[in-house]
Structure 1
Amino acid sequence: TVPVTDEELRQMPLPTAKAIEIAAFVDAGTVDPVRISDSYYLAADGQVAAKPYTLLRKALERSSKVAVAKFAWHGRERLSLLRIREGAIVLHAMKWPDEVRSPQELAPREVEVGEEEIEQALQLAERMTIEDLSGFHDEYREALEDIIAAKAEGKPLPAPAEDESKGRGQVVDLMAALNASVKAAKESRGEDGENATVHEMRPSKKTTGKTPARKRAASKKSTASTKPAKKTAAKKRSAS
């Protein structure tokens, strides 16, 4: 055991200990989104910092690049991206490369997918495309608030919604699911859903007599690496 005091930590020759150090600039499209973590607004520290803050903001506004910076937070050095949002500089904390697990360990076995199935999936994605995400809201929080309000007023608790998780994890017919999804998407847009069908692929000679292909629903997996963490988690006031 080697004792290290707080004073010794404060005296470490670390440039990022008391400042955000810009190390490079990169094209915004080259950053893997899986590495981006929490986001924070940055403010100029007094009038002295107003000019460099404004200069950096204007430079980023006129380019397609983002700044790569390093900073210290809660006893660890972290990597970040700086970009502009509505006239303010936003810092996106990033994971280090060894903090992101490889997706290869989660890749499914090779399966055959027909061109017709791909085309129907693309058709569904096209019909479900929207331009504004503002309509999404936290339904869990609303349900929790309803429960709290009911208990506070001594009223019966709201009736539970139909459990949609009962069917999760079961084997589903991909073509039937696409049929239903395409039809529902067309009907939600006021279109005639009668013709919204997904034609099942005819089996080839190699697969004659076999049952239609089925798939399991995808499950969520964390992107965090399973390697031992080298740094402690940081907390900061979020931009959201």
Structure 2
Amino acid sequence: MRTMWKGAIGFGLVSVPVRLYAATQEHGTRLHQVHDEDGGRIHLKRVCDACGKEVDYEHVARGYEDEEGHTAVLTQSDLAGLPLPSKKLIDVLAFVDADRIDPVQLANSYYLAPDGPAANKPYVLLRETLKQTERVAVTKIALRTRESLALLRVHDRLMTVHTMYWPDEIRATEDLAPPDSVTVRPQELKMATSLMDTLSEDFDFEQLEDEYEVALSELIHAHLDHRPAPKKAVTRAPDNVIDLMAALQASIDTAGKKAQPGKAPAKAATESRSTKTAESNKRTTKKSMAKKATAGAGKGATAKSAAAKSATSKSAAAKSTTAKSTKKTAARKASHRAS
């Protein structure tokens, strides 16, 4: 990583030499301004309104225009001469509980690493102290030509700095919130909580995807390959909610059916499918048992009838056999007498 800033963290009489690195980077595809007719690159020139001439960057200064149209021209040397105590020092102003910092105050994030072996011990000391006390440090830092508030906190094995907006840079929220007369029922809160639980189990950020960036990449490659641009269905915005309870129930049902980005949704979907399969199996089993019972009853009646017929047949056969046997016996007796 490229070092963006070198200085020290100062708290009390302790000084910790550190280096500053950017903690984030954009993954978006970089697009250029081009001429739509021939694809030629567009170059912007710095032109002075007063004389109409193109101005080299070394002659570009900063200026401020007042309400009467007067301009104060500030050169690079003027700006460099301004007092900036935090230019090379991250000055710790106070240690506070982490929940006192509103995320809306945070701006950019940077990693802080010890600058040299001698800085390792005081660096680890400050890091472990922040970790054990579960506190963060409110500081000041100057990056480039601007001084800003900053938040110093522990992130894994490093300390990080998050630049912060000054209090007067945070806009007021007056007239933005719904009126106090708007209330919700306990049943609605319960269902909303159930929906949150369904959507929050084992959520995994690594499974998320920048769909716009993927679509942009496909569009670029389609143009480069001289083929039609891919078309994808556009997700419609939901209609205004009329029945809040019905909308919550539908959301819970949908969350249980389809896989969400992360591990839990797939599990929830599997459990939902398993539950439905089990219910279906139960219904099938009941129907099967009913059919078997009916078939069994029918077979039982048929078996009884067959048994009765068989018994009658056997009885008739027995009578026939007895009659034949009697005839044979009588014939033998008659033959014996004749002889």
Assess same fold via TM > 0.5.
yes
Unaligned runs of 5+ in 1: 194-240
Relative contact order, higher structure (CA 8 A, sep 6+):
1
Hey, which of these two has a bigger chunk of helix by percent? 2
Please give the secondary structure, in 1, of the residue aligned with 2:168. helix
Aligned-pair CA distance for 1:48:
4.8
Residues 167-199 of structure 1: CA distance to partner in whole angstroms, max 9, x if unpaired? 45x454322211210111233423258xxxxxx
Could you tell me the percent identity over the aligned residues?
A: 41
Structure 1 residues 12-161: aligned runs within 5 Å: 12-109=82-179, 110-131=181-202, 132-161=204-233
How many angstroms apart in 2 are the aligned matches of 1:104 and 1:122?
28
User: Does the CA contact (< 8 Å) of 2:137 and 2:152 recur in 1?
Assistant: yes
How many angstroms apart in 1 are the aligned matches of 2:168 and 2:159?
27
How many angstroms apart in 1 are the aligned matches of 2:201 and 2:223?
38
Q: State how many pairs are aligned.
A: 191
How many angstroms apart in 2 are the aligned matches of 1:39 and 1:176?
42
TM-score, scaled relative to structure 1:
0.70
How many angstroms apart in 2 are the aligned matches of 1:158 and 1:3?
52
How many angstroms apart in 1 are the aligned matches of 2:142 and 2:92?
13
Residues 195-238 of structure 1: CA distance to partner in whole angstroms, max 9, x if unpaired? xxxxxxxxxxxxxxxxxxxxxxxxxxxxxxxxxxxxxxxxxxxx
Partner of 1:11: 81
CA RMSD of aligned residues (A): 2.3
Partner of 2:47: none
How many angstroms apart in 1 are the aligned matches of 2:86 and 2:146?
10
Aligned-pair CA distance for 1:25:
0.8
How many angstroms apart in 2 are the aligned matches of 1:184 and 1:123?
13
How many angstroms apart in 1 are the aligned matches of 2:217 and 2:126?
42
Assess, with a 3 A threshold, how the Cα gap between structure 1 residues 15 and 49 changes in structure 2: closer, same or farther: farther
User: Does the CA contact (< 8 Å) of 2:241 and 2:247 recur in 1?
Assistant: no
How many angstroms apart in 2 are the aligned matches of 1:113 and 1:126?
19
Please give the secondary structure, in 2, of the residue aligned with 1:43. strand
Please give the secondary structure, in 1, of the residue aligned with 2:246. helix
Moved more, 135-144 or 107-116: 107-116
Unaligned runs of 5+ in 2: 1-70, 259-267, 277-339
Assess, with a 3 A threshold, how the Cα gap between structure 1 residues 7 and 46 changes in structure 2: closer, same or farther: farther
Partner of 1:217: none
TM-score, scaled relative to structure 2:
0.51
How many angstroms apart in 1 are the aligned matches of 2:124 and 2:72?
44
Structure 1 residues 183-194: aligned runs within 5 Å: 183-188=253-258, 189=268, 190-191=271-272
Aligned-pair CA distance for 1:11:
3.4
How many angstroms apart in 1 are the aligned matches of 2:75 and 2:230?
54
Please give the secondary structure, in 2, of the residue aligned with 1:157. coil
How many angstroms apart in 2 are the aligned matches of 1:45 and 1:181?
52
Aligned-pair CA distance for 1:66:
0.9
Q: Which one has a bigger Cα radius of gyration?
A: 2
Structure 2 letter corresponding to 1:124:
L
Aligned-pair CA distance for 1:104:
3.0
Assess, with a 3 A threshold, how the Cα gap between structure 1 residues 5 and 47 changes in structure 2: closer, same or farther: farther
Aligned-pair CA distance for 1:3:
4.7
Aligned-pair CA distance for 1:111:
1.8
How many angstroms apart in 2 are the aligned matches of 1:46 and 1:11?
30
Aligned-pair CA distance for 1:13:
3.2
